[in-house]
Structure 1
Amino acid sequence: MKHRGDVMKMLRWIEKALKNVGAKTELCETVTQNYEKGKTISQPPTLLAITGNDSKKKTLCVYGHIDVKNAQIEDGWVSDPFIMVQRNGKLCGRGTTDDKGPILCWIHVLEAFLKMKVPVPINIKFVIEGMHEVGSQGLNKLIVSKRNTFFSGIDYCCITDGYWLGTMKPCLTYGLRGLCYFTVEVIGGKKILDSGLFGGAVYEPLHDLIFMLNSLVDLNGDIDIPGLDKDIAPMTPTEESLYKHIDVDTEEIRRVLGVPKVKHEDCRIDHLMSRWRRPSLSVHGIEKVPSDPGVHTIIPNRAIGKFSIRIVPDQKPERVKEFVTTYLERLFEVRRSPNRMKVKSFSFRSPHPNSYLGYSQIQSNKVGMSN
């Protein structure tokens, strides 16, 4: 709600920029949000745009987003993350690479074709949203409603929200891991208590929650949920051989990330597979507990842990939900806590594997070899 106006301002700016290069645009309302009793407001719309309508040409669908996650200078930024600055030949600021910069690259390319009076060799459809960082709410519904109109006749898709293999080597992404997002809530009494009066006398929800979250992965960070790896598609010899030829510097990645160590630092193949080919689980935070700086002595009466699992082919979100829920319920039963526990799941996205020998991949390889 707080930054809805900023998102709308950016969407309209992008819409104007696309119109300037000849695109036909449409801002599509998606979902509404309750913000006061009896009052609703529309979430930021999704921007659709089309350049070219030649049936003899291939059609590419480009996806991007202009919203960002919150950031503070205390998170490790050298300067205010929301004031873009140029540093060492790079533009630094929240959203410069994820994902405003890549969207601008497409617009600049179209602008160059226009100025040189050279026909664009393909038709391009743009899907630009402002709800990406909160689960792309409403996007699926929009795609289904326009599957026979705007989203028909698409030959290829390109997601601008990609990354490099470090700081020096570009990376052509042909697939994405999926996402299953969960919350686990532990509920105790009706009141927040003082630890000076009741510490040691009650079963604290936060103790239970930390036990649950700590049981999701082992000491190496590998997932400890039984059955979760049952449905993973086996690695083919052809696929495995591709990793042998990918040159990646794990020490450079460690340095850029600013971490003391990365997993599988001595084996680049295992390092890459841990990022691309294997499921992973990340804990994202805890709600309903004090988060502001300072000393706190309360005992929260409830606590909510947030975590997600990145899934790979052929894992199914429904099956992952079943494994996670069963495991957490069994854990809580073993703990024998008198508190209550609830597991919720949402924001499911299936993994999107694509053929690494497809047409677009082969053409990209040709370009790479010719250069």
Structure 2
Amino acid sequence: MPVVKFLEYVEEHQNDFVERLRKAVAIPSVSGDPAHRQDVFRMADFLIDELKALGASVETRDPGQQDFHGQTLPLPPIVLATVGNDPAKKTILVYGHYDVQPALIEDGWATDPFTLVEDDQHRLIGRGSTDDKGPVLGWINVVEAHKKMGLELPVNLKFCLEGMEESGSEGLDPIIYSEADKYFRDVDAVCISDNYWLGTTKPCLTYGLRGVSYFHLTVKGPRADLHSGVFGGTVHEPMTDLFALMSKLVTPDGKILVPGIYDQVRQVTDEEQKTYDHLAFKMEELHDAVGNKINIHESIRDTLQHRWRFPSLSLHGVEGAFYNPGDKTVVPARVVGKFSIRTVPDMEPEKVTELVKKYVTDEFNKLNSKNSMTIECTHGGNHWLSSPQHPNYVAAAKAVEKVFSVKPDLTREGGSIPVTLSFQEALKKNVLLLPMGRGDDGAHSINEKLDRSNYVSGTKLLGTYLYEVSQVQL
């Protein structure tokens, strides 16, 4: 059987696949650092060369330019690649990103972040190993295995690879929508591998993500910063007003204080409750991830529901305030408090913004301050929800069982991957989140890693999924 030959090939050639990942990690494609913008382009060229060498038809789209704090930078290309164009086969679109978060050895890395190192526990350590170069290369490994064995893929495969995901996917959405009836016209379903298992022992399928609405709360007073010894106690201080307002947003146990927020939240059904019964997750995994036992909720069910399907409000920082070591008796003239709300079904970003603005304005008026206050939503990404009963998910579940000999957990996630919603809305097709890495991979953190077993088995899973999805009615 072709799928058996494929699995054998992956097992036998895993060292070659690790070397491919090693070359990719060595390219410091940090999209958020102008000094590395050319490296992001270099990473795109690397992927283009890899795909062309395997016979893929590759084209690119130019997203244009970026205004980066007054500096104009070219945006890296959207790489579109096609393997197969048989009209009798289904066409599956896979998405991934080739840029990474910043990483410096002085941040606390045990090894050079851009040199892939395999430790004695067979963890492949390096920036981008799990987010998202490993999964992207997993798809390329699948194509290589079939080409080298002289086998046709069971589906037509399309790639959409971007280089700005870690910087807000700037320039991607317009291309997705403009290509919906062109390059993406024949797509039957979408698969994204840019997330992680819930824990460390069991694969999962992810069918929901929270959205995020980000706010800037600005308080302005004097023309310039003031000396607290001269003016303290004689003027309304912006920082004092800001702290008073920020303290009214959320309680220490996580309850959002904005009136009306919870009225929009979809109720938990009995059917949904059952999905939490046997999840492979322990509270110790939360403690290990956080580095302390500071959990609000005691049960796994409550913890995961507040991570996945209830909204949360987090305070992120204050711009304009003194933050260097030492003492400085300054009264800031202008401060900006930054916070976000993670949203869930059936919350609407516009309604959330309306409620937040009204509440903060009402609370500011109660202060009787002579300072001025403005609040704006700088980003309003919506939540995303699919159905694990969709044939695309059923096919993925069968693939998990064949590769890992276990039924996958059905999970949602607390973070946001805006491109899932973009593909779903633009293409009107089902989007599947099929993770490769584990919950302890440390994406965005120091010593990011991807276990060799996850990389190898993950490549097997991606290929097996293609065989399973080719047999279902989408």
What's the TM-score once normalised by structure 2's chain length? 0.72
Residues in 1 aligned to 2:248 and 2:104: alpha-carbon distance in whole angstroms: 30
- Provide the C-alpha distance between the structure 2 equivalents of 1:330 and 1:82, rounded to a whole number of angstroms: 50
CA contact (8 A) 2:201 2:280 kept: no
Q: Give the equivalent residue in structure 1 for 2:63.
A: 30
Distance in 2 separating the partners of 1:250 and 1:334: 41
Match in the other structure for 1:216 = 249
Aligned match of 1:313 in 345, 352, 358?
345
- 1:226 is paired with a residue whose SS is coil
Q: Which residue of 2 aligns with 1:326?
A: 358
Aligned pairs, number = 369
SS at match of 1:186: strand
Picking from 253, 258, 269, the partner of 2:301 is: 269
Conservation of the 8 A alpha-carbon contact between 1:135 and 1:347: no
Q: How do 1:148-159 residues align onto structure 2 when only pairs under 5 Å count? A: 148-159=181-192
User: Quick check: 2:199–2:280 contact (8 Å CA) kept in 1?
Assistant: no
SS at match of 1:121: coil
1:236 corresponds to 2:247: no
Confirm or deny that 1:347 pairs with 2:379: yes
Residue number in structure 2 paired with 1:115:
148
Kept after mapping to 1: 8 A contact 2:66/2:75: yes
Write the mapping of 1:61-80 to structure 2, written as runs, cut at 5 A: 61-71=93-103, 77-79=109-111
Matches within 5 A, 1:199-214: 199-214=232-247
Greater relative CO (CA pairs within 8 A, separation 6+)? 2
Partner SS state of residue 173, structure 1: strand
CA separation in 2, counterparts of 1:69 and 1:187? 33
What are the within-5 Å matches in structure 2 for residues 58-137 of structure 1? 58-71=90-103, 77-79=109-111, 81-87=113-119, 88-137=121-170
1:82: Cα distance to partner? 4.7
Change (3 A) 1:121 1:16: same
Give 1:369 deviation, angstroms. Answer: 4.1
Determine the structure 2 residue equivalent to 1:288.
Answer: 320
Partner of 2:48: 15
Structure 2 unaligned residues grouped into runs of 5+? 1-33, 406-474
> Which segment is superposed worse, 278-287 or 154-163?
278-287
Equivalents in 2 of 1:115, 1:53: separation in Å?
19
State the 1:294 CA deviation: 4.5
SS for the counterpart of 1:310 is: strand
Amino acid at match of 1:340: S
Match of 2:282 among 232, 235, 249: 249
| TM-superposed deviation, 1:22 | 2.3
| Residue 281 to residue 134, structure 1, CA distance change in 2 (3 Å) | farther
State the SS of the aligned residue for 2:212: strand
Distance 1:73 1:294 in 2: 26
- The aligned residue for residue 6 of structure 2 is none
In the alignment, is the contact (CA less than 8 A) between 2:213 and 2:343 conserved in 1?
A: yes
- The Cα offsets for residues 343-367 of structure 1, whole Å up to 9 and x where unpaired, read as 1213322211111111122223333
CA pair 85-188 structure 1, distance change in 2 beyond 3 A: farther
Equivalent pair of 1:34/1:40 in contact (CA under 8 Å)? yes
Structure 1: how far apart are the matches of 2:320 and 2:309? 34
Q: Aligned partners of 1:142, 1:174: CA distance in 2, in Å? A: 24
Given that residues 249 and 268 in structure 1 are in contact (C-alpha distance below 8 angstroms), is that contact kept between their aligned partners in structure 2?
yes
Identity of aligned residues (%): 43
Q: C-alpha distance in 1, partners of 2:236/2:106?
A: 34
Aligned partner (choices 62, 75, 84) of residue 43 of structure 1: 75
For the residue of structure 2 that corresponds to 1:284, the secondary structure is: strand
Residue identity in the other structure for 1:221: G
- Give distance in 2, aligned partners of 1:285 and 1:85: 35
Q: Deviations over 1:175-223 (max 9, x none)?
A: 2222222211112222122334434433322222223223221120222
Cα displacement (A) at 1:149: 0.6
The CA RMSD over aligned residues, in Å, is 2.4
Q: Aligned partners of 1:137, 1:64: CA distance in 2, in Å?
A: 14
Give, in whole Å, the separation in 1 of the partners of 2:64 and 2:386: 30
Alignment of 1:164 with 2:172, yes or no, is no
Q: Which structure: greater helix fraction?
A: 2
Which runs of structure 2 are paired with 1:350-369 in the superposition (5 Å)? 350-369=382-401
CA distance in 2, matches of 1:210, 1:222: 18
Question: Per-residue displacement from partner, 1:134-185 (whole Å, max 9, x unpaired)?
Answer: 3222222111111111122222222221111122222211222222222111
**Equivalent position amino acid for 1:19 in 2:** K
Q: Tell whether the 8 Å contact from 1:63 to 1:158 is kept in structure 2 after alignment.
A: yes
Partner letter of residue 179 of structure 2?
Answer: K
Residues 1:273 and 1:353: Cα distance change in structure 2 (over 3 Å): same
Residues 3/218 of structure 1: CA separation in 2 closer, same or farther (3 Å cut): same
1:221-277 superposed Cα distances (whole Å, 9 cap, x missing partner): 22221111222222222222111122311112311332333332x311112211211
Paired with 1:8 and 1:327, the residues of 2 have a C-alpha distance of 45
The Cα of 1:73 is off from its aligned counterpart by 5.7
Deviation for aligned residue 1:328: 1.3
Partners in 1 of 2:267 and 2:215 — Cα distance?
26
Shift in CA distance, 119/290, structure 1 to aligned 2, threshold 3 Å: farther
Distance 1:23 1:203 in 2: 65
- The 2-side partners of 1:149 and 1:114 are apart by 27
